[in-house]
């Protein structure tokens, strides 16, 4: 398909959006259609600072709630994850990746929920949208490392839930997962059975929570029983006084990415 690419500056003119805190190069693939979900959304693609001066190929992380990742003007309650600033800083350490942000839709609770019998969840369709529609577009348009070991999925809250589920449900595509403050309570903890019933998947999992939100320690134990080893392919972090918000996820993001991209 013919793919339109806009820089974020062009996108501001094209759409009237008020983006104003983006650092580095952010491109927009406008109104990408999902045949799986029967809807359209912009896809945001942040490029490493040396993208245009080298022939290097880069790992890719697909991140949910894309409108909250790069810009306070579009972030929830005027807050953002500071993914762009974090990646610029990490690039000085030699840690580089393309970040693909997928903004949520009005059906966020359904798209990030993998359990059809709970609130009409259609998380599998959302994952198919990422793996079968968005990823081929991104791999075709940008210099990616398309293999699963260089492809990650990451999000928080309900985005953390679908990231953990997606790591096990689509091991053909994802080789690592960032699971921040996951909504493990959905469906009375249905994710625990979903993880236990699926085979071990080779790759890395970053898992966290804040001490002022529901703990993910039980999931850490479940993942250890499944064969994941802390400090090797599993990192669990509980932030003292951490709350359930973008500021907390922004604080924990640098070390999460260091672990996942090392």
Q: What is the DSSP string of 168-184?
A: HH-TTT-SEEEEES--T
Categorize the per-residue pLDDT at 6 as very low, low, confident or very high, splitting at 50, 70 and 90.
low
CA distance 107 to 119: 11
* Predicted model pTM: 0.94
17-21, 167-171, 213-217, 231-235: which range is least confident on average?
Answer: 17-21
> Cα separation of 127 and 169, whole Å?
9
Is 218's pLDDT higher than 70? yes
Q: Helix crossing, 186-197 with 158-169: angle to 10°?
A: 20
Per-residue model confidence as pLDDT tens digits over 31-80: 999 999 999 999 999 999 999 999 999 999 999 999 999 987 787 767 88
Integer Cα distance of 240 and 217 in angstroms:
14
DSSP code of 199? Answer: P
């Amino acid at each position: 398909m013919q793919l339109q690419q806009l820089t974020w500056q062009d996108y501001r003119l094209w759409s009237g959006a008020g983006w104003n805190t983006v650092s580095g190069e952010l491109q927009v693939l406008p109104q990408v259609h999902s045949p799986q979900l029967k809807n359209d959304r912009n896809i945001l693609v942040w490029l490493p600072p040396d993208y245009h001066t080298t022939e290097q190929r880069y790992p890719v992380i697909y991140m949910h709630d894309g409108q909250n990742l790069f810009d306070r003007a579009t972030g929830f309650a005027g807050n953002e994850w500071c993914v762009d600033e974090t990646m610029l800083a990490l690039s000085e350490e030699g840690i580089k990746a393309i970040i693909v942000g997928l903004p949520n839709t009005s059906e966020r609770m359904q798209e990030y929920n993998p359990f059809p019998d709970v609130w009409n969840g259609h998380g599998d369709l959302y994952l198919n949208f990422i793996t079968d529609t968005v990823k081929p577009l991104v791999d075709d348009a940008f210099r990616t490392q398309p293999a699963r070991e260089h492809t990650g999925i990451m999000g928080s809250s309900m985005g953390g839930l679908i990231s953990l589920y997606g790591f096990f449900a689509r091991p053909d595509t994802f080789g690592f997962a960032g699971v921040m403050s996951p909504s493990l309570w959905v469906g009375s903890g249905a994710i625990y059975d979903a993880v236990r019933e699926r085979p071990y998947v080779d790759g890395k999992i970053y898992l966290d929570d804040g001490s002022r939100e529901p703990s993910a320690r039980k999931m850490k134990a479940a993942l250890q029983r499944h064969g994941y080893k802390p400090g090797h392919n599993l990192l669990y972090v509980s932030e003292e006084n951490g709350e359930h918000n973008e500021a907390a996820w922004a604080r924990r993001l640098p070390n999460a990415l260091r672990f996942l991209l090392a």
